[in-house]
Structure 1
């Protein structure tokens, strides 16, 4: 799959989806397509230590559990991406495909096709989806970490990390193409809509952070309460902030996204803050965070002359399904 263009890749995968669209359990379809040796790599115990380990570094820099794309045939790759498409929104799936395809751009820029390899993404299952009430799976590689936990049919997707390098392609026939532009653009629109008084509350640091503050921590808690409260924004500014949060939630299937947005507006409205660090201009290093009672969003575009985006959604109690798992075991005791 090296040097394959995104357009050709999507055409192939779309054809495969058509062949597999009648499936009701894409996870089992993928697992059942694996050989015994492949399944030994892909299927791990639910309590395995790597279930809560994650990173956004390139595959050549960070060994990952599970089975990699380069170990799969075309039919198995099609089934894997069918699984992804069934567990993400169309928006989330498209962003994931664009991020993977940027490995080809980086390979062309650097000439290093081994380090910049779109086949070095992996999938790992924890627990058996055919018989276990609690199981999980992850899809991960450079600038993508998607962690799904399923407990008694309830699904959580956290942490969710995405990145883009280059965020804007600077040369070649794809010059000007943007990835994760909405998350950056809406943030810039919001910070630049604030009055001088509001800016004094929102900007908590003159210099941008080099990276997201929480990095690849297994578990995170609330950061310091910096930035401007949503209640200190006018109606137009609040709508921009909701649109920004919706962009992050839009990675998930519609039903899950709508449920979470409803919870934010009814249970966390007074706790949400928007904080900014660094420049307020596109092309210069900047960082923002949105924090509520139960969640944290971080965005930075600092590296590579502010053309390298990292963003993440963390749930303080719900990362890796901790809240669902705790509820599950509590009910078992009763």
Structure 2
């Protein structure tokens, strides 16, 4: 076990090291994540061994830092939904029309109906929600429980889990489903590495159904838990899968395929291709712990990413370099990164969503924190009126690296200007179908 730059503990899991500016470069570890595992008898993991997820939750939420964070999250949840914006004002007309129902989700609807048939009445009541329910917005990504939406997969019999995951699979692209299941499996692997399988496993996720999949009206589902949060909704002829949060620790596993390696490689290729003039615009901070960051830019839990849980109304000004100042080759790399963020969408829906991206290329921005040659941990953001996509390297929580590394990755995807959870399309549907 190796510890880096201990820093001052905030609550045992989080330290000031992850939010303290450093004048020196943050170097990537040269050894593997295996050297950053806790000893199984270390109190950091041994204290929780054998706890249920509810017992662990009660213990974790006794920490003042987490109580304050949860209070803040609830205050954000209480705000009426607006959507992520650059200045607090929603920009209309950027998404076009969802159109009339076209049957493109028939397989997913059928799988959802099958899932409903295998659930007992009392269980089914907890699973189902109105299409406009507040539960859409109360997802979170830690391993402890905050809001208990719907059903917990690990509490269900196998046939019910299989039916629910079949609904998820039918809604996503094959590669997208592999990515989601891969992140869930990595959570199970983390539970094995720490000896905490009752707290972190590949079924420690909450799932809900929204709307009615038996007709042509909008419907969708939500799956969330540690390092995975997926919100999927079908409205008319469009599928929206956002917000999405997918992370992993360890992200570079020798057991499961890496989730983010190809995206990171493309991102480094783009960043390293920047000319000195472009780099001066794109690189906002020279390090992920640059002391030039303003107060509040670094958060002990979110670190640098801005589109995580309960950030539905965040104001995020553009930063970095506009895509118009990139070459056509660089724009192509940028687009491929965005398309990888949109991998969960079925292929035809992904094409429609990427067409939305293309239409806003003139108002698309790329920002980067850290060295551009791959020698350091980095943060990237791609932002336009129709996308906010981030990748952030984090310090360890269940690994001992106290500084950001590629062992721990968070990625977020948002649809700014009010189309997270398909809200812009739902408003259009309501108006057209007199559901106001």
TM-score by structure 1 length?
A: 0.85
Confirm or deny that 1:314 pairs with 2:420: no
Show the counterpart of 1:103. 187
Alignment of 1:154-165 (within 5 A): 154-165=238-249
5+ unaligned residues in a row in structure 2: which ranges?
A: 1-106, 289-297, 397-403
1:303 is the counterpart of 2:395: yes
Once the two structures are TM-superposed, the CA of residue 237 in structure 1 deviates from its matched residue by 1.3
- The Cα shift of 1:282 comes to 4.0
Q: 1:77-96 alignment to 2 at 5 Å? A: 77-96=161-180
Computing the radius of gyration over CA atoms, which structure comes out larger, 1 or 2? 2
Match of 2:348 among 255, 262, 265: 255
Structure 2 length as normaliser, TM-score? Answer: 0.66
Structure 2 counterpart of 1:37: 122
Match of 1:274 among 366, 381, 385: 366
Contact 2:307 2:413 in 1 (8 A): no
Q: 1: CA distance between counterparts of 2:207 and 2:356?
A: 30
1:62 aligned partner: 146
Matched, 1:120 2:200: no
The structure, 1 or 2, with the larger RCO (C-alpha pairs under 8 Å, 6+ apart) is 2
Structure 1: distance between partners of 2:248 and 2:340: 16
Once residues 258 and 176 of structure 1 are traced to their aligned partners in structure 2, the CA distance between those partners, rounded to angstroms, is 29
RMSD: 2.3
Q: Does 1:49 align with 2:134?
A: yes
- Find the counterpart in structure 1 of residue 17 from structure 2: none
Shift of 1:320: 0.9
Which 5+ residue runs of structure 1 have no aligned equivalent? 1-21
How many residue pairs get aligned? The number is 308
Q: Give the Å deviation of 1:175.
A: 5.8
Specify the alignment match of 2:425 in structure 1. Answer: 324
- In proportion to residue count, which structure has more helix? 1
- Which residue number corresponds to residue 213 of structure 2? 129
Conserved in 2, the CA contact under 8 Å of 1:122 and 1:139? yes
CA contact (8 A) 2:367 2:382 kept: yes
Distance 2:203 2:193 in 1: 18
